[in-house]
Amino acid sequence: METYRHIVQYYETDMMGITHHANYIRWMEEARIDYLSQIGFSYAEMEKMGILVPVVSVGGRYRRPTTFSDDIAIDVAVTEFTGVRLKLSYLMKNKDGKTVFEGTSEHAFLNREGRPARMKTEYPELYAALNDQLVKEE
56-96 pLDDT, tens per residue?
999 999 999 999 999 999 999 999 999 999 999 999 999 99
Per-residue pLDDT tens digits for 13-29:
999 999 999 999 999 99
| In the chain, % of residues over pLDDT 70 | 99
Per-chain mean pLDDT for the chain: 95
Domain ranges for the chain, please list them: 4-133
Give the pLDDT confidence of 102-138 residue by residue, as tens digits.
Answer: 999 999 999 999 999 989 999 999 999 999 999 875 5
The CATH class, in words, for 4-133 is alpha beta
Q: Is the pLDDT of residue 36 over 70?
A: yes
Residue 1, pLDDT score = 87
Q: Which residues are catalytic?
A: 14
* Alpha carbons 32 and 37: distance in angstroms, whole number: 9
Q: pTM of this prediction? A: 0.94
